[in-house]
Amino acid sequence: MSWIEETVRKAETGGTYKPGETLSEYSPGTGVQSSELVKLNANENTFLSKEYQQRLVKMAAERVDPRLYPSEDGRLERRLESILDVESGSIVLGNGSDQLIELLVYTLLKEGDEIVAVNPTFSMYRRAAEIQGVAYRPVELYPDFSLNVEGLLEAVTPNTRMMIICNPNNPTGNQFDEEKILQILESFDGLLVVDEAYVDYADYTMAGKTEGYSNLVVLRTFSKAYGLAGIRLGYVVVNVRLAAALKGYFQMPYTVSELTQEIGLEALKNQEAVMDSVNKTIEMRDWLYKSMSVLPGVKVFDSDTNFLLFTTPKPSKDVYYSLLERGVMIRRFDRIMEHENCLRVTIGPKKDLTRFLEALKEALV
């Protein structure tokens, strides 16, 4: 087998991550134009208006000279360190937290190493492991979606170098008990990666504990609460020594564009707008939870994120396509643990959720 064939086979084995459908992808033959679709399938923040974000991008672009390489002057890192109250030099930027997941796996692990992770969870972790030739050991949550600490620690072998916990977890939506996370930190010798993509909608963050725990890696993103999924900006918070190693030895120069960094800085200037969108999300999440809970046969799970996971009495495939025919896009999961007919809906403005709710009622008839 040639090295080209071997490379292709490795990529094929790792599989392809399938994100939520875009506005241009909808069920053929429905007659619904993409401009008429309500997009509630990718956990994007639409409480911050497109016009607001476009002004932000424009202001950032006016400060950038695209002819020049990024300055990498550390302004964005220092601003984040100040907001999170973490030590200087502990933040590493990346093009979205997805790239940083790959960076951690590809550069810190080798074939034959192992990753332990909770199940169900974000599928990118498994994909990154499989492409790298790293064994992936999933450990199921308890039936109430709580963290199975004993199971996670029992799954650890001498080859286990990393454990990944999405917290709050996707797709279950819940934030795990902080004491359980700390228990794992103190019992596990490898790296514990805590993915906090949805943490702005939850109760606590582990970011401030990276100084005290050299094996803690916290992933953060601008894609959710900051409403900037399209620009691809994320970062990790780690101890200073590991941060320097990731920046100095494993990342290519100019990892994040100058424009992206300026947009991040501009977004951080107005924390009030971000927190207002977070508060509105939580308010609408509570409203939708109550509204869906009274629908016959529908079970809605508690959430600490900007989405709700729910089950329906009818096959999830039928409900999914029925909603799509009515111009509403959500995410279909089918089975999650012992729960059949699972679907996930992003929390958006009330007009979008009202349309989703009416379409769901019709789909359940």
Average of per-residue pLDDT across 74-94: 96
**Element (H or E) spanning 191, and its range?**
strand 191-195
- What value, to the nearest 5°, has the Cα angle with vertex 42 and ends 334 and 351? 100
Residue-wise pLDDT for 242-265, tens only, equals 999 888 877 777 889 999 999 999
Instruction: Kindly tell me if the per-residue pLDDT of 177 is higher than 90.
Output: yes
- 184 & 298 share domain: no
**Element (H or E) spanning 115, and its range?**
strand 114-119
Number of independent structural domains in the chain:
2
Q: Check which CATH number belongs to the domain holding 100 and give it.
A: 3.40.640.10
- 90 & 158 share domain: yes
Asked if residue 54 belongs to a domain, the reply is no
- 80 & 121 share domain: yes
Of the residues 235, 254, 269, the one at which a domain ends: 269
Q: Check which CATH number belongs to the domain holding 300 and give it.
A: 3.90.1150.10
Percentage of the residues of the chain whose pLDDT score is greater than 70:
90
Residue-wise pLDDT for 105-162, tens only, equals 988 999 999 999 999 999 999 999 998 999 999 999 999 999 999 999 999 999 999 9
Cα 317 from Cα 302, distance rounded (Å) = 22
Average of per-residue pLDDT across 284-294: 98
Query: Which one, of 10, 18, 16, 250, lies nearest residue 131 by Cα?
Result: 10
Asked if residue 56 belongs to a domain, the reply is no
- 249 & 136 share domain: yes
Paired sense of beta strands 38-39 and 216-221, if any: unpaired
Asked if residue 55 belongs to a domain, the reply is no
- 165 & 259 share domain: yes
- 101 & 15 share domain: no
- 37 & 89 share domain: no
What pLDDT does 23 receive? Answer: 56
Half-sphere exposure of 288 (CA within 13 A, CB side): 33
Number of CB atoms found within 10 A of residue 40's CB: 25
Q: Name residue 165's beta-bridge partners.
A: 194
pTM of the model: 0.91
pLDDT band at residue 13, thresholds of 50, 70 and 90?
low
What pLDDT does 107 receive? Answer: 87
- 200 & 90 share domain: yes
Q: What's the burial of 324, exposed, middle or buried (CB within 10 Å: 0-12/13-18/19+)?
A: buried
Of the residues 224, 251, 269, the one at which a domain ends: 269
At 25, is the secondary structure helix, strand, or coil? coil
Asked if residue 58 belongs to a domain, the reply is no
- 116 & 239 share domain: yes
- 93 & 163 share domain: yes
- 147 & 158 share domain: yes
* Mean pLDDT, the chain, integer: 92
Instruction: Kindly tell me if the per-residue pLDDT of 8 is higher than 50.
Output: no
**Residue 344, both tokens:** 């996930």
- 307 & 194 share domain: no
Query: Which one, of 258, 251, 264, lies nearest residue 68 by Cα?
Result: 258
Asked if residue 162 belongs to a domain, the reply is yes
Average of per-residue pLDDT across 287-311: 98
Asked if residue 44 belongs to a domain, the reply is yes
Asked if residue 57 belongs to a domain, the reply is no
**Residue 276, both tokens:** 């207002």
What pLDDT does 71 receive? Answer: 83
Domain that holds residue 130: 67-269
What pLDDT does 22 receive? Answer: 59
Asked if residue 251 belongs to a domain, the reply is yes
Distances (CA, A) of 181 to 10, 67, 149, 303, 317: 33, 45, 8, 18, 35
- What value, to the nearest 5°, has the Cα angle with vertex 199 and ends 94 and 249? 25
- What value, to the nearest 5°, has the Cα angle with vertex 249 and ends 78 and 185? 70
